[in-house]
Structure 1
Amino acid sequence: MTHRSAALLIALVALTACQTVEPAAPPTTIPVAAVAETPHAAVATIERSRRDSNRDDILQSLVSRKIKELDRTAFRGVTVDVWGGRVLLMGAVIKPENRRHAEQQAASVSGVRRVTNELILAEDRALDLFVPNTAKEEQVRRELGIEGKAGLTVHVINNVAFLLGGAADPTQAEALRNDAGEIDGIKWVVAHLDGAQ
């Protein structure tokens, strides 16, 4: 036996001798502040293939362009997202006919399977408040544990979280919706998730 092997064996024996078995500590209460800072458990989302994601990106660009061509000023508060060929219209417009026209334009784009119109009515001077808050979107993705996942898109517009994508099952969809609603600064959550039936 070499000196090195002997030294390693002695260290291992000493380490083992120092270990003692202690009874499990009683459960402790986690302070409320610590819970609020702890990210929510990650949930299973339905991932899109790169091909499907690229197709959705193209549809998003086409729908956005088509809506802006109607009237760039009137539709400046409109955000478009697409997942699996499903178009989600978010934000605000000033007239009911603007809502209808935006939906019609989106539905007219080849490849669009369905349009969900979540546009609300607001005064013209308030439309600039309806732009996506990218910092809050990153926070929501981080706290939901879905950073780097393509199975869910998140937009936060005027402190409303919009979730579009797929969850593995209805329980996961409900967990996403509930967890997003608990994030500081989110007024409410609008979720359109496959698997939520």
Structure 2
Amino acid sequence: MTIRLTRRAAVATGAAALLTPALARAATQDVPMAQQQALVAEAGRRNVSSFREILWQDHFDRLDRVTLIADTQSKALHYWAVDGADYRIYPTSVPMNEELTRRGYTEIVRKKIGPSWTPTPSMIERDPSLHPMPPGPDNPLGTHAMYLSWPAYIIHGTHDTRKIGRRSSSGCIGTFNEKIAELYDLCPVGTQVKII
């Protein structure tokens, strides 16, 4: 017996396959969420944000102090505790373009909770409406800031979470306010930093 697959049959089969998980979930609508079986995606080689693995050994000779590597390609900030006892990765915003991106070795020289913000002359040239801002919900530096040895380069939070995962900064590395608060506590002045 020969089975002939028509275009209409293929579309109907595909639609049924797509709806099956939704129909299965709909059948559990009267069961509390805590009692429902979890839907777990298959493990993949890369996460949804496409963070790439970075090894501190490729960038530093020693891990005798806290280390940060800001990866402008995958828009991630990598953290290692002294001796590598703890490793964490944070999503970030990165500079808008190559002209604003500075790469190389630096360190955290100062930290501030509730930072104020002053636009640089080049920022004002690009957008004359910019003006200094005190701490608060409109401040582009968010709730915490860690200043690098390079003038005007900062690792900071942001109130505008749409910027995370994008090329959206004027040179700084930004992350969610909750994440910068965590990093602020983990990173003392003197933390070694590399931006790649």
The bucket for the TM-score relative to the shorter chain is under 0.3
* TM-score, with length taken from structure 1: 0.25
More helix by share: 1
TM-score where L is the length of structure 2: 0.25
> Considering only CA atoms, is the larger Rg found in Structure 1 or Structure 2?
1
Higher RCO, Cα 8 Å, sep 6+: 2
| Higher fraction of strand | 2
